[in-house]
Amino acid sequence: MRRNGQPAWSGVAAVTQGNHNSEQAVQEAVPRIVCKFGGSSVAGAAQLRKVRAIIEADPRRQIIVPSAPGKRDAGDTKITDLLYLCHHAASVGTDFSRPFAQIVERFTGIERDLDMVPMIGEALERLQAELERGVSADYAASRGEHFCGLLLAAWLDADFVEPADYIVIGANGLVDAQTWTLLGERLADPHKRYVIPGFYGRDAEGRVRTFSRGGSDVSGAVAARAARAELYENWTDVSGLLMADPRIVDHPLPMEEVTYAEIRELAYMGASVLHEEAMAPVREVGIPVQIRNTNDPGHPGTRIVAELSPEIVLNTQIAGVAGKTSFAMITIGKHLMNREVGFVYRLLGVLEHNGIPFEHCPSSIDSVSVVLEARWLEGRVEQILDEIRRTLEPDEIDYVPSIALIAIVGEEMARTPGIAARVFTALAGESINVRLINQGASELNIIVGVAPEDYPQALRALYGAFVRQ
């Protein structure tokens, strides 16, 4: 088990494009840390004071990536949401003065509370005029990070780096390889402090383009890779990752250390602190990630690495347990199916023809199942089943509209005898029927399917089978 302080449940995952061998940024081998601060960490002046204290506590923290200001309390509205609202109103020719006034109040209020020389007002006036003339939704949404970056750069006496000049986002939404050189050269001075807003860059034509929501996590990882940082710190309002969902398992233990691969598996089944694409840029070049809490900076949080430390391996059997209840399953039975060349190929072809991705495909000699997100079948279950019948002429076909999947994840599972026995003993002890069993070739996880109503009890049983608190 992986022990540490008291963080919150989450996971992450990712893809990007480009080869790290093409990176040619010229910079000295001086250890630097990239710090990304989430919306709650920059929500107001009090939080920005914490940010400054964190940065000044370690001289290696030289590259700062802020999000747009988030909610100050439960009744507040995120800046990005207000910007989208303003853009929509402007695009249909209606008044957006009320939400825009909230944006102005937030930014000028931060500036005032920090006793800064006023400068953001003029930029906000220009934005209002731009919205009235017409701008893209991406440009409007990116201004939250842009203005926060301007304020933070002035507050920290740092160089402001405009992402649209250095981060290139391809047509597929992935970071283009030329970014590593462009941004690496801009961040090359190891003795300077830089602030680069998160969430956006530019497309091949030079237009501002955003990542998907939460994309400041990606920006932080991009900056870490381009600068060849020794560490990417992601500062948020939780102290790392937990081994299970605390909404179901009481006081689950935290993870001190977890691998990129483990977090990818857990992310597939659980919530996330980091944006799902935020791992790839750093994973490809082996930069570790540390999840830290802006409100509890002394807590070490969770470290995400390529390989577990030896001392962690000694105490580790699993990284965590996670699950979701949003799946459906189709099972097709046919005598001598194993001798029918292309049977599974044709089954998956039906899904492809209908634009449906699948998650798992366990099989036996005379039957095969496909597990998929139930949402893909909404309103067309009979259409898909009829097409399967016509294409495969099965002896029988069974449709389960709702099934929960639970993944037990751990790098050391493949080298630890008795893992599967503990899984099924724990479920049998709670009289929980297992509808599905699947283990990937990597032996990184074991996935079991249970009825949705058994899901909470099954998750608690599996967690308890491996963790003694």
DSSP 328: E
pLDDT attached to residue 183: 98
pLDDT of 29 above 80: no
pLDDT attached to residue 462: 94
pLDDT attached to residue 21: 46
Give the residue from 172, 166, 176, 251 showing the smallest Cα distance to 208: 166
C-alpha to C-alpha distance for 248 and 458, rounded to whole angstroms: 10
Helices 45-56 and 97-113 meet at what angle, rounded to 10? 50
Q: What pLDDT band is residue 264 in, cutting at 50, 70 and 90?
A: confident
Higher pLDDT among residues 223 and 469, named by residue? 223
Looking at CATH, the fold of the domain delimited by 20-310 is given as Carbamate kinase (3.40.1160)
Report yes or no: 406 and 458 within 8 Å, Cβ to Cβ: yes
pLDDT attached to residue 101: 97
pLDDT of 146 above 50: yes
Question: What is the 3-state secondary structure of 396-429?
Answer: EEEEEEEEEEEEEECHHHHHCCCHHHHHHHHHHH
pLDDT of 274 above 70: no
Domain with CATH 3.30.2130.10 in the chain: 320-466
- 380 membership: H or E segment, kind and range: none
At 50-105, the pLDDT tens digits run 999 999 999 999 999 999 999 999 889 999 999 999 999 999 999 999 999 999 99
At 291-317, the pLDDT tens digits run 999 999 999 999 999 888 876 655 667
Q: What pLDDT band is residue 18 in, cutting at 50, 70 and 90?
A: very low
At 167-218, the pLDDT tens digits run 999 988 889 999 999 999 999 999 999 999 999 999 999 999 999 866 899 9
pLDDT of 27 above 60: no
Contacts for 295 with CB less than 8 Å, ≥ 6 apart = 50, 237
Class of the CATH domain delimited by 320-466: alpha beta
pLDDT attached to residue 313: 59
Domain with CATH 3.40.1160.10 in the chain: 20-310
C-alpha to C-alpha distance for 272 and 294, rounded to whole angstroms: 17
Least confident piece of the model among 28-32, 114-118, 318-322: 28-32
Report yes or no: 191 and 235 within 8 Å, Cβ to Cβ: no
Three-state SS at 307 = coil
| 183 token code pair | 């941004």
Torsions phi, psi of 436, nearest 5? Answer: -155, 140
C-alpha to C-alpha distance for 440 and 446, rounded to whole angstroms: 7
Distance set, CA 436 to CA 145, 295, 348, 366 (Å): 45, 42, 19, 16
At 410-437, the pLDDT tens digits run 887 777 778 888 999 999 999 999 988 8
Helices (H) and strands (E) in the chain, counts: 14, 15
What is this structure's pTM? 0.82
